[in-house]
Amino acid sequence: MIKARISVDKYNILSDVDPRIYGSFIEHLGRAVYEGIYQPDQKSADEEGFRGDTLELVRELNVSTVRYPGGNFVSNYKWEDGVGPRESRPKQLDYAWKVVETNEVGLNEFMSWCKKAGTEPMMAINLGTRGIQDAKNLLEYCNHPSGSAMADLRIKHGYKDPYNIKLWCLGNEMDGQWQMGHKTAYEYGRIANEVGNVMKTYDPSMELVTCGSSGYYRNTFGEWERQVLMEAYDVTDYLALHMYWKNFDNDTPRFLGETVELENYLVSAIAACDYVKAVKRSKKKINLSIDEWNVWYHSKEQDKRIEEWCRHPHQLEDIYNFEDALLIGGAMITLLRHADRVKIACLAQLVNVIAPIMTSDTGAWRQTIYYPFLHASTMGRGKVLHTVVMSPTYECRISDAVPYLDSVVVENEEEETLTVFAVNKSLDDSMELVCDLRQYADYAVTRHIVLEHENLKAVNTEDNPYEVVPHEGGVSKNDNGDFTAVLQPHSWNVIRLTKKK
């Protein structure tokens, strides 16, 4: 058995958890919108055409924030096409995904869905094919009460009250040459700054997310951040980073070790933000928005066979296996371990498209990755304690020292709970985890949830949706502050301690 230790101190608090770290993402892509959240002829659909089964799972998942409408899609999107009477909305070619967008769902429908889902919008602006005037129009359509052309247009469309959207993305992945309207760092920094200025002139309390890099291995990473922030530091509240993982070569130890790279990515991006802060002698601190993160590779081959210019095809429909859930759990822990600077994160995406929730015409079900996100978003609220991890390590292709243990502890003072999140990455050995919890001697273990499966490649499907599901009853105890737990080989664990009454 491997032995590992974590160490926490009640008074050594890293940060409050910003609930927006439990965000997700709906793009007009594949079957995310159409057949995912909206399908008027489906049996669970409500009067607005929203699927009730999807809504139920989204609510259960406790998603705080949903980014919309893209993604690559936003960089050639005209938001005006998606508002007003449905019958007069034009069909458009979406060059990002080479499909036809019918515009049956647009801004107002999305806002109505958000309300029903109990989530907040994070609205993305097209800075690929469009510019300042379009952004200004969109802002007024969304947020101005009345008495301007755009506000009055919204009212004419039947939406009297302004939405007062506070969180906005200034474009998407503008560092990528695949992006429509891709720009150099300087060009993007300039337009982001100008649009940001317009938005903050309208409402200084706007929170703006500026595009950082679309991946750790982009050869512009670091320098992109520096140049963009040199232009747009003052209007930027969050720097966006994206990260996707794959296990193409079936090297699971390396795959699970990707959390080390996420860690490097976060630390480096924070350094880039703080470098510009220093150069500018700025008082302001820029935090991170990891507004796309997930495993994405299972669907790449089948997507090559999609017929061009069709409508909402099965696109990016990764079927997630058990090892994917372990990595998502490890990544969630890594984000929480940086909760002092990571304030927003969006699991990309939410429904059907690289998503925790899948739908068919007959029902909706939970993929494997649903569970670690669910556990974190429901039990990982409160304060993150600085969690020192002492664990044996292993060597793999991306690092010569990947800790077998990923772990973080979150305290919720109101609920008087302490939650230990932990992944044992060893494929062969169980792990004995210990922690000195004398400051919490009057807390008892009330739950130990485990997600485990003997087959790393096991999946949940519509016919067999409960193949990979968590169970209670993991082995752990807190004897007067002497905390011990046994973590099964390759397992995700959530151990909840509650103050004794």
User: Residue 323 Cβ, how far from ligand AHR at the closest point, in Å?
Assistant: 20
User: Residue 250 Cβ, how far from ligand AHR at the closest point, in Å?
Assistant: 23
In the region spanning residues 183 to 222, those forming contacts with ligand AHR, defined by CB under 6 A, are 214
Q: How far apart are CA 90 and CA 87, in angstroms?
A: 8
Beta carbons of 292 and 348 less than 8 angstroms apart: yes
Cis peptide before 227 (omega within 30 of 0): no
Cβ proximity to ligand AHR: between 294 and 399 the closer is: 294
- The dihedrals phi and psi of 263, each to the nearest 5 degrees, come to -55, -50
Q: Which two tokens stand for residue 45?
A: 């659909």
DSSP 351: B
Residue nearest to ligand AHR (CB): 71
Cβ proximity to ligand AHR: between 214 and 399 the closer is: 214
Task: Look at strands 287-295 and 405-412 and give their pairing.
Answer: unpaired
User: Residue 256 Cβ, how far from ligand AHR at the closest point, in Å?
Assistant: 22
Q: How far is C-alpha 216 from the chain's CA centre? A: 16
Window 215-254: contact mask with ligand AHR (x via CB under 6 A): ---------------------------x------------
Cβ proximity to ligand AHR: between 173 and 231 the closer is: 173
Cβ proximity to ligand AHR: between 54 and 214 the closer is: 214
Which residue in 173, 194, 261, 452 is the catalytic one?
173
CA 43 vs CA 39, 49, 164, 268, 419: distances in Å:
9, 10, 33, 48, 39
How many chain residues bind ligand AHR (CB under 6 A)? 11
- The dihedrals phi and psi of 265, each to the nearest 5 degrees, come to -60, -50
Cβ proximity to ligand AHR: between 172 and 352 the closer is: 172
User: Residue 73 Cβ, how far from ligand AHR at the closest point, in Å?
Assistant: 6
What dihedral angle (degrees, nearest 10) is formed by the CA atoms of 436, 438, 439, 440?
90
User: Residue 348 Cβ, how far from ligand AHR at the closest point, in Å?
Assistant: 4
In the region spanning residues 89 to 108, those forming contacts with ligand AHR, defined by CB under 6 A, are none
CB-based burial, 408-433: b 16+ in 10 Å, e otherwise: bbbbbeeeebbbbbbbbbbeeebbeb
Closest to 373 measured CA to CA, from 57, 139, 42:
57
Cβ proximity to ligand AHR: between 109 and 292 the closer is: 292
Window 54-73: contact mask with ligand AHR (x via CB under 6 A): ----------------xxx-
User: Residue 173 Cβ, how far from ligand AHR at the closest point, in Å?
Assistant: 5
Q: Which two tokens stand for residue 69?
A: 């409408």
Task: Look at strands 287-295 and 13-16 and give their pairing.
Answer: unpaired
Closest to 54 measured CA to CA, from 73, 31, 74, 70:
31
Among 103, 108, 172, 377, binds ligand AHR (CB under 6 A): 172
Terminal-to-terminal C-alpha distance of the chain: 34
Window 337-376: contact mask with ligand AHR (x via CB under 6 A): -----------xx---------------------------
In the region spanning residues 1 to 30, those forming contacts with ligand AHR, defined by CB under 6 A, are 27
Vertex 368 angle, CA 209 and 347, to 5°: 0
Window 292-321: contact mask with ligand AHR (x via CB under 6 A): x-----------------------------
Cβ proximity to ligand AHR: between 176 and 474 the closer is: 176
Q: What's the chain's length in residues? A: 501
Residues in contact with 108: Cβ distance below 8 Å, sequence separation at least 6, in sequence order: 83, 154, 157, 158, 159
User: Residue 179 Cβ, how far from ligand AHR at the closest point, in Å?
Assistant: 8
Cβ proximity to ligand AHR: between 68 and 255 the closer is: 68
Among 173, 175, 237, 318, binds ligand AHR (CB under 6 A): 173
Catalytic (active site) residue 173: yes
Which residue in 109, 231, 292, 323 is the catalytic one?
292
Catalytic (active site) residue 323: no
Beta carbons of 357 and 364 less than 8 angstroms apart: yes
What is the binding site for ligand AHR (CB under 6 A)?
A: 27, 70-72, 172-173, 214, 242, 292, 348-349
Active-site annotation, residues: 173, 292
